[in-house]
Homo-oligomer: A and B are copies of this chain.
């Protein structure tokens, strides 16, 4: 019988709850504890699944039978929790962004390398079945040489000056908001899919609401849309609502992207198109089971997700038959399954994003912030002071 693994979720917000529920779907893994700053929140989340509730992750890490932890806390806390978890010998799956600075990210990558522990950054969006289909198509040369990558990640939950969430607070969330929260998904995806690296970029950012109304109690991510009467206070905002970037990708390809939290009507509008010398692909997270393939001399194609139509490397990401939709939650299951399989099989390849990918994302983010400040093109490479350790990431592994 397979060994069963013990894990725990730290963080009781939107992401913490998703991790917990999706961990329940993974075979041979038991969630033994949930940790929250407030014990009541942890108890509420843990109760139904027979897990223990804690308000101190330190105690959790003392449990020598625990194999791994999921870190779903605000961005600025990742660095120290990951540090502590690694030092306690736990495998770590951390929500993105990995840290709030390149320096911190590099330290965590080094630490992961030294400890030899499994480390996963939760860029779950890579694992929609149709995304993996694109990846395998590009890898197989089906679109030819990559020429163009463009798109946007647009949401509207921060449209009004009355919208507030901990992510607006730079002390908790770091110096970037739209680019860090969702723009980082966009770049991670493009580099993952094309196997190319962003070489240089020119970015523009905008804070449309330099002041927002902050409620005096905390507001869960995405839930602020439902109105509620409460005390608010005018609070200056230092992180961007919107960013636009043009960039050079690999030696010849060109790109363009925007990220926005103030685009009315776009709920989770992560879209991109990648055009190559033979054909193009396009995808939209709001219709995740569809993949558009563009051709010049043949009709365009639309794949509605169907395992029998997917390439070998993509098929294992589709658990349901043709036309039976797989959603956002299901991408977490795909990541978690592969993460725990790698924990069980030391030496096996890491088929998921790793901390080195998180460092890469922080590097691009830093380049964006600097490009905006200096109002000019910047070379991404110059932010990579020390070469990232090779051999780790699924992304790099593909180059």
Contacts and interface: CB of A to CB of B under 8 A. Distances in A.
Interface string A36-64: 00000000000111100000000000000
B244 A150 contact: yes
Interface in A188-246: 202-204, 206, 208, 221-223, 225-226, 242, 244-246
B268 A323 contact: yes
A248 B294 CA distance: 31
29 contacts: A2-B48, A24-B25, A25-B25, A147-B262, A156-B322, A160-B296, A204-B246, A208-B277, A242-B254, A244-B246, A245-B246, A256-B256, A256-B257, A262-B275, A264-B275, A266-B294, A267-B324, A285-B325, A286-B323, A287-B287, A292-B302, A298-B309, A299-B302, A300-B301, A300-B303, A301-B301, A324-B327, A329-B329, A376-B376
Given A21-B25, A325-B286, A327-B326, A244 B256 contact: yes
Given A28-B48, A301-B302, A322-B267, A204 B296 contact: no
Interface residues of A, number: 103
Contacts of A260: 148, 275
A156 B148 CA distance: 12
A307 B329 CA distance: 16
A119 B125 CA distance: 38
Contacts of A25: 21, 24-25
